[in-house]
Amino acid sequence: MNPRAPAIDALRPALQDAAARLALDVSASQFDALLDYLALLQRWNATYNLTAVREPQQMLTHHLADCMAVVAPLRRQAGTGPLRLLDVGSGGGLPGAVIALLNPGADVTCVDTVGKKAAFVLQVAGELRLPNLHARHARVEQMTAEPYDVVASRAFASLVDFTRLTRQHLAAHGVWMAMKGKPPSDEIAQLPASIEVFHVEQLDVPGLGAERCLVWMRPKR
């Protein structure tokens, strides 16, 4: 791993503040890894256009803090033990890479149809030494894999399409976790009767100043 640029290292206090405001217990090595991830994202973004957000401070707020905000809700829902999670339309590993980094007991697979984005996640897993982070270059509806406890997405598709395209990947006890902005009442209303929305959870992302929520879903028992 190349040394981090001073502009990235200077973000450590803001990152520590975000973790504290989210009540996350983050170790010094995990803070290092989050900053290394941010440095990789910025470096690759210059060539491969992984995200429209390019300024490091904005990347911290719009990407790292946004994804860190789902960690505590995920732990409450799924526990802290072994967990298989599929991040659909992961792009540059958001939220999958952040979840894998902060939850060593979770086995996280990021899937994306864009090869360069899957390649970036593989690079992250290698450089940050995250054996629990994997990448697949595939269409999720055509992918074969063992079922997952949680199938997650961040700005991937409508709730109807998200659940329809990933239903075969959900374990019998599994749940969907969709990251959204404002509570998507119209999308929820369009879900089939076979899908139950059992919780819409408001998120407070430090420094973002915009609405965020998690929509938790499962097949009706």
Tokens representing 200 are 């819409």
Whether 35 and 8 have beta carbons less than 8 Å apart is answered as yes
Q: Which residue ranges in the chain fall short of pLDDT 70?
A: 1-2, 49-50, 52-54, 80
**Is the previous residue joined to 183 through a cis bond, with omega within 30 degrees of 0?**
no
The crossing angle, in degrees rounded to 10, of helices 28-48 and 115-127 is 150
Tokens representing 123 are 């690079």
Give the model's pLDDT for residue 47.
76
Fold topology of 67-219: Rossmann fold (3.40.50)
Cα-based angle 154, 157, 161 (whole degrees, multiple of 5)? 130
Residue among 149, 143, 142, 197 nearest 172 (CA):
149
Per-domain residue ranges for the chain? 67-219
Give the model's pLDDT for residue 52.
61
Give the model's pLDDT for residue 53.
66
Give the model's pLDDT for residue 42.
87
Which pLDDT tens digit goes with each residue over 56-85? 788 899 889 999 999 999 999 987 678 999
